[in-house]
Structures are given as C-alpha cells and as structure tokens.
Amino acid sequence: MPDVAEIRDYRLVDQHETWTKAGPVVSHLPDNEITTLTERATATVAEPGTLGLWGFATGTWMTATILGGYLPQSYMFSAALIVILFAGVAQFIAGLFAYRRTNALNATAFCCFGAFNATAGAMMLLNATGLISAQNGMHEMLGFLLESFAFIAFVLCAAATSRNVVMVCLLFTLGAGYCLTGVAQFLIAPGATAGLGGIAAAGGACLLASAGLAYYLGMAMIVNSAWRRTLLPVLGEP
C-alpha cells in the first residue's frame, strides 16, 4: 500500500498560476486543493472585518470634521490619540488577521488605512506641539499624504466591484474625500487662519459618508455572522 508521501506526489500537477482572494498562487497543487486550503484558512480564523471597519469609521469621521473645516484645526490634538490607537493600530491589527484569512482586499485596505491614520495622528500631535507647522510644510506634506491615499482608495474601489456595492460606495467616497481635502491642504497659505473653504467642506462630507457606510458594513458583518444569515444586505458577497 503506498505511503502518504507517494499519494501526495501522485496528485501533483504541472506548476501553474491560480488566482485566489489571497492573491496569485504558483504551485504544483491542483486548483481544487488550493481552493480547499483557502477555504479552510477562511473558516478557521474569525472575521476581523467589523473591528477594522469600525476603527476606520471612527477615525475617518472625526478627522473629517477637522479636514473639512467644520471644527478648528486646534482640535487635532484632542483627536490624535483616538486616531492613532483605534483607527490606526487596531485597524492595522485587523488587517493582519485578514491576511491570515486569505482576504487580500480587506487586509490591504485595513493595513493601508490603519497606517494612514497612525501617520495622520502623529502629524496632528507634532502640529499641536509646534514641532511641525505651516511654515515648515505641514499642510503640503498632509496634502501629499491625502492624495496618495486617494489613489489607494480608488484602486481598492475598482477591486471591490467584484465584492459588494456597499464596499464600492465606501471606497469611492473615501477616495473623493481624500482627494478634495488634499487639494484644500495645498491651497492653505503658510500661516493662514481663514477657514479651509468649500473644497475642504465637500471633501469632509465625502469622508463622513464613507465613515457612515463603514459603520453600516461592519454592523452588517457582525449581525449577519451572529444570526448566521443575511439580515442586513450588503448587495454582494461579504
């Protein structure tokens, strides 16, 4: 009777590329075995999506009120720790678990936006303490950061079209919000004390919409998981 190693070798096929939710897999394993391994990883790790989405939502709507000009820039100091710890670190941890769960889209989004929030929160603290200011490029660097993540959000939005409508809308409004608030940062003259203006306000509104969608999507994931059926629709796969 052949041993396990012989059976395993017998089932190998020519090396080929298989695309999964975790990304491309180049191996000698048959596609059905790769699918089995992917689904086993998904089934053995709890879904981190709600933690990531709620961390993202909390940081996004709080910073939107400042980046959009609804609240004074001086409020950055009070928001910084929440943005760094919950929207930044907690969301980044959720992204790491999403990688283990073979969900490359969620993992990339949570890790990217978690890192963004941690960086933005650190900039808020440095600005509040006077270590960085308008005079040494704080607004320009924040503008570059926002525009970079606008690009990331739009690319993730394109990828999310294969998933569900709520995620697409969330990422599209996020990208628009980052883009507009980034432009507003470039328009602020060094030392200006005037409000951010209509562009920033529009961007802040987009960020608030994105945060609201993230709260809903996180709620749908945890409620549907608890009840083991779809009670709150996401218009696609979760």
How many angstroms separate the CA atoms of 230 and 238, rounded? 10
pLDDT of residue 6: 46
Residue 139: predicted pLDDT? 87
Residue 190: what pLDDT? 58
Complete DSSP assignment for 20-77: ETTEEEEESS-HHHHHHHHHHHHHTS---HHHHHHHHHHHHHHHHHHHTTSS-GGGHH
Domain boundaries, the chain: 4-42, 49-227
| Per-residue pLDDT at 192 | 53
The pLDDT of residue 29: 77
> In angstroms, what is the C-alpha Rg of the chain?
21
Residue 23 CB contacts under 8 Å (≥ 6 apart), including other chains: 104
Return the pLDDT at 189: 60
H-helix or E-strand spanning residue 220: helix 198-227
Write down the pLDDT at residue 127.
83
- List Cβ neighbours of 18 (8 Å cut-off, separation of 6 or more): 24, 25, 26, 27, 31, 34
pTM: predicted TM-score of the whole model, two decimal places: 0.87
How confident is the model over 53-112, as pLDDT tens digits?
A: 999 999 999 999 999 999 988 888 889 999 999 999 999 999 999 999 999 999 999 999
Across the chain, what does the average pLDDT equal?
88
Which residue ranges in the chain fall short of pLDDT 70? 1-11, 20, 22, 189-195
**What phi, psi does 191 have (nearest 5°)?**
85, 5
Reference 147, options 110, 187, 106; nearest CA is: 187
Q: Which of 102, 112, 96, 121 is nearest to 41 (CA)?
A: 102
**Residue 7: its pLDDT value, please?**
45
